[in-house]
Amino acid sequence: MKTGYKLVLVCEGRRYSMACPRKGKVQYVPGKVVRCRRGCGPLAVFKYVQDARRALEAWRETYLEMWRCEYSPTTRRLMMPDGKVYRLWTRRSYTIWGTVLPVPPGTDYAESVRLVKRIA
């Protein structure tokens, strides 16, 4: 397991992967190991706290929390819930619902993530 940083979207007291389609969303529970749903993944985390902080600032208008996490790295890059491509990650960009956005610096990919301690 590696140590990294995860931004999660808070909605009605629950924590989810941010900017994800409904069918592929992942709910995070602090202290619990979370894996991708079947046919989805990988999960995205930040390798470095400074990159997570920059992303948190950039997405300030949303209800995000930043957590220190432990994760199992993977080399997979394709995210497809239910056989439909919602996100296609490369080293430079990803696609969400047809919109190409830059991948934030310091992004790493994981098979599983465990939220350890809330930082912000």
Residue among 104, 79, 82, 81 nearest 91 (CA): 104
How far CA 99 is from CA of 18, 59, 94, in Å, comes to 15, 17, 8
pLDDT digits (tens, 9 = 90+) for 8-20: 988 888 998 875 5
Of 26-30, 35-39, 109-113, the range with the lowest mean pLDDT is 35-39
State yes or no: pLDDT of 71 exceeds 80.
yes
Q: Residue type for 85, please?
A: V
* Prediction pTM value: 0.79
For residue 117, the surrounding DSSP H or E stretch is strand 107-118
pLDDT digits (tens, 9 = 90+) for 80-92: 444 443 444 444 5
Distance of CA 67 to the CA centre of its chain: 11
